Structure 1
Amino acid sequence: MRPNIILLIADDHRFETLGVSGCEGIATPHLDALAAGGAHFMRAHCQGGMHPAVCSPSRASLLTGRNIFAASQDPGGLHFGGKAFAIPEDMQTMPQLLRQAGYRTHAIGKWHNDRASFARSFSSASKVMFGGMSDHDRVPLHDFDPTGEYSENNAVIGEGFSTDLFREAAHEFLCEAANDQPFFMQVAFTAPHDPRTPPLEVAVSPKAVTLPANFAPAHSFDNGEMLVRDELLEAVPRDPEAVRQHIADYYGMVQHLDHAIGKIIDTLNETGQRENTVVIYTADHGIALGQHGLMGKQNLYQHSVQVPLMINGRGFKPTVREDLVWHADTAATILDIAGVPSEYAADGTSLIGPTHTEHLFGVHGISQRSVRTERWKYIAYLPNPEPVMGPSANGRTSRGCFAEQLFDLDSDPCEMANLIAQQDLRNVRSDLIESLFAWQRSVNDPLAERTREFLKGAGE
């Protein structure tokens, strides 16, 4: 019997914010148990995106198994929304392939890509929110629309908190799912994305929050995204007590999310479906919340590109894995679990067996590119030809600047010591840059030649 598959996607959940990952001040017993009982991937990543709404390209990669340029109708990211959020019409999505293979594909929660790709991917749906964010107690929801239009006029404001609404929809689906057809259920939560308003029963006191080692009052230079919405959620310089409150609210949202996931697992057990169901938990991307003086995810530091990933179920024995993996690998794995040729996720590698990826690459907008290996991380920053955000009301702009960073992630996982000026690491820098150039060309990165031009001018 082919297994059922549940894909649980959080919004903004950074990789280390779990009890099982050693985070103090947070309780996530259900996610901890999911990780301990299956394969827990400690180095899972998103690839970034060409515009500030990083969730859209990240989810497109997860849905297609392709890089962020291939998975967008507007790979240059020049049009915010619209085509920049749309998956190419001729590209089959992972749930679409499962549907063609005989799976019932059911969607719940957030969808931040285009409606056309949603309609061809899912055979049923309940409590779906189209868009990037909403108040958690006023979520505009759609049920299944066989026409595929999902008109905004048909949205109904949900009665309750987003996480609870999506949990309830998952419970209802699992209770009525027939046993004669395998299912793929995607539950895409809007938590812990802001506005972070956790229910009182899961609230965390800011006094219990320890600021991260790489907390800073401000970022050390203009990275080209200093005036994006996320960065304006807290004043600069960042006040330590204000940041503690942000983190406390974030922890509360994660704890509430953990509780909901525990209830979904309970329903699987109660309906007798657990043994034949593979459960996958991940997130679209992470977020800074005061690390490096930043608040958002519009950067390529580990706190923003590294995500949780755990796969629990048949074929995944309890193990902690240090593979370098990313969203396309998760897509390939889901297809492999279902018996669908995983080469449809052309940029990914199934994680059912051992993998060995030497380099992972990161993209943000027209100002940031990165490459990492198991040990080393290199980030290049380029000045923007035009101000991306601004001029603002007070005349400020964020145009970026040319800068380079090199981190030894073995000894400096918080990316606090920039080693770019160290002469004995020049070969490390050169090798990473050449790998980055080769990748940029292979994926038709519109910034490929501009990156080379600036780095050549810097002595590469």
Structure 2
Amino acid sequence: MAKKPNILFIFSDQHRHDVLGCAGHPLVQTPNLDRLTDWGMRFERAWTQCPVCMPCRATMITGRYTHELGFTSNVTADRGDTVDDSPFKPAWPTIMKQLQGGGYETASIGKTHYHGRPGSQEAGERGENFDTRQFGDFVKDFGWDYVMEEYDRYGHVQSHVKSPYMDFLEARGLLEAHQEQIRGIYRLTPTHWRGETSVLPQECELSSFIADHAMDWLQSRDSEKPFYLHLGFVQPHVPLMDDPIWAAYYADADIELPDMTMPSATNEVWAGKVKRLKTHSQVQTMTDDFVREGIRHYLGAVSLVDQKIGEVIDTLDALGELDNTWIIYSADHGEMLGEHHLWAKHCFYEGSVQVPLIVSPPDRKNRGVCSDLTQLIDVVSTIAEIGQVAPPEGARGQSLLPMLERGSGGYEYVFSTIEDWTGVRNEGYRFTLHVPTGTPCELYDLARDPGELNNCVEDPAYGEIVNQLKAVVLDHCAG
């Protein structure tokens, strides 16, 4: 019986869908993601099921929508010393458990975000160290045989917190300088969105550390089982930081600004959301030069992730495993990158909700670009089909494998939810509903307005479309 194929799922954080060479970006260098595209298919209209980290990551192990899992934001558990209040439940059916049952060795290296960013204030007040590795057994309960977990850079600023990467930096005498820099560009400081170049050498950057650990794991494993490796890069998530080498590369790049037209508040319900988006983005700081600098650092962070992906691919090749390995690349959500005068995500604009999605089979045959609407939860069903196991119970997505052969077969509607808002799009329109009150908040006629600049939700000419899409959303949320 032929050995089942290996599966490498590379999942970065906050990678905007069009910041790829293969997507036509004029500046960014991503030769390895371009190579994966040449070896398979890029799905250019893939929607995340939630444009923030934690809920999306829950959908990516279960294949279920966020409202079915019971949480739609990061706030629930983004703090504390324990996993007691985590919205992630080890009893969930997951794709990793299915693969374990199908004979796979499973490993998660990098970011998982199944529990909150370690705040550990209580430990600090007691004068005790707090080691993030204590969460390892909790993460393993979701179906991982091996776990090496790392965190957003914000998790590295407290001197009493310990993690694998912090130990790595401390052993090299670099931890204090790293912590000092992160404190200086911490959340909502004036330089938070403008970004900086890291004080660390490239080989000590967090992306390098995570990739190096993954390569060590691949080289040292002695199992005869096929593997499922989830490689979770933290970057290009904020703070926007590039390494010195890529910073030099982009230093003189001619950065083109996006359209920075601000969102419109069409009604009182939506006005509150728009205000929070603007506050989080610190719109008062967003001069043209400020935004250009943020984009510059973001491009460098993306290119370092790409560089490290190339090293992992080359390691698979050297081990003789590449010809039996499926490689999938995506991200949990995008990054507004100054578009609509916003940073980050938290909304249903294309820059936030649309993500890169590349599927590369072992035969490495180019299958082009699929323009059909797809969803991130499709990755769960795709991995299940590759691993010859059933999807986890309750999974909603569809396998992308048939689309690799025929080039089409997506959805009529795709959905995303954050907090009390659910967004939907089809071929012609994107619509947002405040579900608790039933208030329509956004409607964009994408044929006439692909840049999503004219919110026509209150235009009487679109009344029938608004009512139709409102019914679609309510039916989705009731399912």
> Does TM-score exceed 0.5, indicating one fold?
yes
Q: Does 1:16 align with 2:12?
A: no
Q: Does 1:211 align with 2:264?
A: no
C-alpha separation between the residues in 2 aligned to 1:275 and 1:4? 9
**Equivalences for residues 304-323 of structure 1 within 5 A:** 304-314=352-362, 317=365, 318-323=367-372
Contact 1:77 1:365 in 2 (8 A): no
| 1:79 aligned partner | 76
Contact 1:133 1:190 in 2 (8 A): no
| 1:57 aligned partner | 55
C-alpha separation between the residues in 1 aligned to 2:428 and 2:84? 36
| 1:380 aligned partner | 433
Residue 298 of structure 1 deviates from its aligned partner by 1.3
Residue 409 of structure 1 deviates from its aligned partner by 2.4
The two structures, once aligned, show a CA RMSD in angstroms of 2.9
C-alpha separation between the residues in 1 aligned to 2:41 and 2:434? 35
| 2:237 aligned partner | 193
Change (3 A) 1:130 1:19: closer
| 2:139 aligned partner | 118
| 1:150 aligned partner | none
| 1:156 aligned partner | 167
C-alpha separation between the residues in 1 aligned to 2:138 and 2:42? 30
Contact 1:7 1:280 in 2 (8 A): yes
Q: Structure 1 stretches of 5 or more lacking a match?
A: 144-154, 385-400, 443-460
Residue 76 of structure 1 deviates from its aligned partner by 8.5
* Structure 1 residue matching 2:400: 3-state secondary structure: coil
Residue 294 of structure 1 deviates from its aligned partner by 1.4
**Equivalences for residues 30-109 of structure 1 within 5 A:** 30-48=32-50, 54-72=52-70, 74=71, 79-81=76-78, 85-109=86-110
1:419 corresponds, among 427, 437, 456, to 456
Contact 2:55 2:72 in 1 (8 A): no
C-alpha separation between the residues in 2 aligned to 1:161 and 1:100? 36
Contact 2:139 2:147 in 1 (8 A): no
Residue 63 of structure 1 deviates from its aligned partner by 1.1
C-alpha separation between the residues in 2 aligned to 1:326 and 1:40? 13
| 2:264 aligned partner | 220
Change (3 A) 1:335 1:383: closer
C-alpha separation between the residues in 2 aligned to 1:220 and 1:241? 24
C-alpha separation between the residues in 2 aligned to 1:345 and 1:269? 36
Q: Aligned letter for 2:167?
A: V
Contact 2:98 2:390 in 1 (8 A): no
C-alpha separation between the residues in 1 aligned to 2:85 and 2:274? 18
- The structure with the largest helix share of the pair is 2
Residue 424 of structure 1 deviates from its aligned partner by 3.9
Residues 292-349 of structure 1: CA deviation (Å, up to 9, x unaligned): 1211211111111100000101478522112222121101110110001126352111
Residues 403-452 of structure 1: CA deviation (Å, up to 9, x unaligned): 6322122443321122334444332222111101111111xxxxxxxxxx
Residue 280 of structure 1 deviates from its aligned partner by 0.6
**Equivalences for residues 296-445 of structure 1 within 5 A:** 296-314=344-362, 317=365, 318-342=367-391, 344=393, 346-354=395-403, 355-366=409-420, 368-381=421-434, 404-442=441-479
Change (3 A) 1:297 1:359: same
Residues 347-399 of structure 1: CA deviation (Å, up to 9, x unaligned): 11111114331111221213x32111122111235899xxxxxxxxxxxxxxx
Contact 1:45 1:307 in 2 (8 A): yes
Residues 213-262 of structure 1: CA deviation (Å, up to 9, x unaligned): x323x44333526447x954544262111011111110110011111111
C-alpha separation between the residues in 1 aligned to 2:74 and 2:286? 30
C-alpha separation between the residues in 2 aligned to 1:188 and 1:231? 29
Contact 1:286 1:306 in 2 (8 A): yes
C-alpha separation between the residues in 2 aligned to 1:134 and 1:209? 30
Residue 288 of structure 1 deviates from its aligned partner by 1.1
C-alpha separation between the residues in 2 aligned to 1:345 and 1:140? 37
Residues 102-133 of structure 1: CA deviation (Å, up to 9, x unaligned): 1111111112113465212211133x215684
TM-score (norm 1): 0.80
* Structure 2 residue matching 1:363: 3-state secondary structure: strand
Residue 58 of structure 1 deviates from its aligned partner by 0.5
Contact 1:206 1:244 in 2 (8 A): no
Contact 2:255 2:296 in 1 (8 A): yes
C-alpha separation between the residues in 2 aligned to 1:345 and 1:422? 38
Contact 1:48 1:300 in 2 (8 A): no
Change (3 A) 1:156 1:323: same
| 1:170 aligned partner | 214
C-alpha separation between the residues in 1 aligned to 2:450 and 2:35? 25
Q: Aligned letter for 2:260?
A: F
Residues 44-68 of structure 1: CA deviation (Å, up to 9, x unaligned): 111116xxxx100001101111111
| 2:150 aligned partner | 129
C-alpha separation between the residues in 1 aligned to 2:364 and 2:402? 9
**Bigger relative contact order, structure 1 or 2 (CA pairs below 8 A, ≥6 apart):** 2
Contact 2:8 2:328 in 1 (8 A): yes
| 1:387 aligned partner | none
Contact 1:56 1:85 in 2 (8 A): no
Change (3 A) 1:279 1:345: farther
- Between stretches 202-211 and 11-20, larger displacement belongs to 202-211
* Structure 1 residue matching 2:329: 3-state secondary structure: strand
C-alpha separation between the residues in 1 aligned to 2:289 and 2:452? 23
Contact 1:206 1:245 in 2 (8 A): no
- Between stretches 97-106 and 343-352, larger displacement belongs to 343-352
Change (3 A) 1:234 1:425: closer
Residue 285 of structure 1 deviates from its aligned partner by 0.4
* Structure 2 residue matching 1:7: 3-state secondary structure: strand
